[in-house]
Structure 1
Amino acid sequence: MLAAEAPKSNADTETQSPNGDGRKRNRKICICVTLLILLLLIFKVLLVLSLTLFKPKNPTATVDSVVVDHLRTSVDVLNLKANLNLTLQAHLALKNPNRVGFSFGSTSALLSYKGQLVGEAPLPANRVGPQKTLHMNVKLTLMADRLLSESQVFSDVMSGSIPVNAFVKVAGRVSVFNVFKIKVKSSASCDVTISVSSRNVTSQHCKYSSKL
């Protein structure tokens, strides 16, 4: 009897083994599906937060003030020529209204005269913390060798006022949870009029723009 029952036991083992493997495979599939659902839920929550509480807002670059740091002029009336040496001190502010940090790359502040670039100052890459404002002082020096039209300089010096433009553009990105990264740009352009006699700024008109 014992010898007859032994083959039956082996047959039962062979028939039960595939079922055991099937149960393990089903268990793995259930675990994978559950993890996938959890990941999708987490992604959905992050997406909702990024579109509501952490919705990106435009950082704003402003020029709070422009002052004359140095101004020297000389006039050659016979030849209708004028030499101009000018250095401006500009105070910039970059405000980040977002609940996450804003990082921007290196750029330059530009000084123009009659639409012609006559000076620039580098601005290194930096980061503005959540809902913080970064203050920067920039020195813009006019490079006399870039002034192509001496007659215009002569006319402005003789009239007693020198018009220049200070411009800065900042480009960077806001990163939400290190997953959603949105590019943003902000710029400030200021038309400044400088008095030759008093050596100070008599008017300043600025335009600002920003976009995601």
Structure 2
Amino acid sequence: MGKWRICCVVSALVLIISVVVLVTLYFTLFKPKDPNIIVQSVTLQSTTIRVVLFPYQDIEGNATIGLTVTVDNRNYGGFKYHNATAFINYRGNLVAEAPIGEDSISPRSKHNISTSVIVFAHELAADDHFLSDFFSGVFNFTSSTTLHGKVNVFNIFKFKASSSRNCNISVSLQNQTADSVCTSKIKF
């Protein structure tokens, strides 16, 4: 009877120590961290805008914005995401969508995501502030993207996660440049 009791006590201690070590690792080393979003370039690739005043008022054309963003994955788990769409808004109205292809981000690494967005001028022109922004030469946009996928930690732990990113983008027509500030969140 004494040998069984010692075996049970040792097994219980090993189990308790293992749980304490795993919980400690989770809350220190493996605690999920939001990825850093670093905007490498936001470029105005082309613009063709034509204002028609007679016989009716209309604005035609488009602007193509090239986006390259580096995602700095500070976690010990890789993230494989599915196809997604980035939504671009102008003063709260949806004016463009950009596809983001399925890909993966390795653990503790940086990964570039690039896409082109075609913004249609007639969608912009529907806003009352369009002409004042056009003549000032600056347009302010917001973009939002949510990537759904799976996190893989050491090929042992796999679970669903989503990463959302919101950006404020300011496009200058005169300088043909664009600046942006982005924030991101990851949810498990």
Tell me the TM-score range normalised by the shorter chain.
Answer: 0.7 to 0.9
Does residue 187 in structure 1 map to residue 165 in structure 2? yes
**Take 2:84 and 2:164, find their aligned partners in 1: how far apart are those partners?**
12
**Take 2:73 and 2:114, find their aligned partners in 1: how far apart are those partners?**
18
The aligned residue for residue 46 of structure 2 is 70
**Take 1:181 and 1:44, find their aligned partners in 2: how far apart are those partners?**
21
Q: How many residue pairs end up in the alignment?
A: 184
**Take 1:169 and 1:63, find their aligned partners in 2: how far apart are those partners?**
14
Aligned partner of 1:81 among 34, 49, 58 = 58
TM, length-normalised to structure 2: 0.74
TM, length-normalised to structure 1: 0.67
For the 8 Å contact 2:42–2:180, the answer to whether it is kept is no
For the 8 Å contact 2:87–2:145, the answer to whether it is kept is no
Q: Deviations over 1:91-144 (max 9, x none)?
A: 111111123323444322222222211111122343222210110111001145
* Bigger Rg over Cα: 1
Q: 1:105 to 1:36 in 2, by over 3 A?
A: farther
Aligned residue runs from structure 1 range 80-159, under 5 A = 80-144=57-121, 146-147=123-124, 149=126, 152-157=129-134, 159=135
Q: Which runs of 5+ in 2 are unaligned?
A: none
For the 8 Å contact 2:61–2:122, the answer to whether it is kept is no
For the 8 Å contact 2:59–2:125, the answer to whether it is kept is no
Q: CA RMSD in A?
A: 3.5
% identity of equivalent residues: 22
By percentage of residues, which structure has more helix?
A: 1
For the 8 Å contact 1:168–1:188, the answer to whether it is kept is yes
**Take 1:45 and 1:93, find their aligned partners in 2: how far apart are those partners?**
33
Letter in 2 for 1:43: V
By percentage of residues, which structure has more strand?
A: 2
Aligned partner of 1:58 among 34, 53, 56 = 34
The aligned residue for residue 206 of structure 1 is 181
Letter in 2 for 1:46: L
The secondary structure found in structure 2 opposite 1:142 is strand
The aligned residue for residue 41 of structure 1 is 17
